[in-house]
Structure 1
Amino acid sequence: MYPGVTGLPRPVNNSHDHILHGITTFDYGHTHSYYAITGPAIDLPGGMHTHYVYFETNEVDGHRHRVQDFVIPAAMG
């Protein structure tokens, strides 16, 4: 799956989240799109952080895909 694009940080309860959207890779003759909001920032060592995401893609050819993972760590801004 393509990693998608996140929007700018949005302040939430002493943390922040991001809007995440993208399109999956082209497999089996089709793609899926998705739009989600990450969970709040999760602090990591070295001044880095990540976010948990859980979402489903749009339905294409009678099915969807469920995604749950952590986004690639980034420096706290």
Structure 2
Amino acid sequence: MPLNIHILHRHMFSGITSLDYGHVHEYVGLTDPAPTGVPHVHRYHTVTSMNDGHTHIIEGATGPAINLPNGGHVHYFEGFTTINGMHPHTHHYNGTTGNEVD
């Protein structure tokens, strides 16, 4: 009986949120691991930079893998941050992860 073993990989992601209430936030993170070589998505979670006296949480799941012409793949992600700040608000974010890393 063959073993069904999948190597796991992750992706770096980073970006800048939308401009809301006169400021933006930067973010950077590493996705949760997912199996290589099969259809998959990644969960992600990070905290934005501090700006205007507060941070926001970014979390969600990426879209499916987008194969790159020279090998590897990336994932598109987007969403809205948690609601925080002295004047409660949220920011939109979106981007594409980096290529897969071990």
Place the TM-score, normalised by the shorter chain, in its bin: 0.7 to 0.9
1:26-65 superposed matches below 5 A: 26-61=50-85, 62-65=88-91
Unaligned runs of 5+ in 2: 1-25
Once superposed, what is the RMSD of the aligned Cα atoms? 1.9
> Between Structure 1 and Structure 2, how many residues are aligned?
74
Provide TM-score, normalisation by structure 2. 0.64
Between the aligned partners of 1:71 and 1:51, the Cα distance in structure 2 is: 5
Q: CA deviation at 1:74?
A: 2.2
Please tell me whether the aligned partners of residues 3 and 22 of structure 1 are also in contact (alpha carbons under 8 angstroms): yes
Partner of 1:72: 98
- Aligned to 2:27, what secondary structure does the other structure show? coil
Q: What is the aligned-residue identity percentage?
A: 34
Please tell me whether the aligned partners of residues 55 and 68 of structure 1 are also in contact (alpha carbons under 8 angstroms): yes
Structure of greater Rg: 2
Unaligned runs of 5+ in 1: none
Please tell me whether the aligned partners of residues 10 and 18 of structure 1 are also in contact (alpha carbons under 8 angstroms): no
| Deviant stretches of 4+, over 3 Å | none
Between the aligned partners of 1:74 and 1:30, the Cα distance in structure 2 is: 31
1:3 maps to 2:28: yes
- Aligned to 2:70, what secondary structure does the other structure show? helix
- Aligned to 1:51, what secondary structure does the other structure show? strand
Q: Which moved more, 1:65-74 or 1:34-43?
A: 65-74
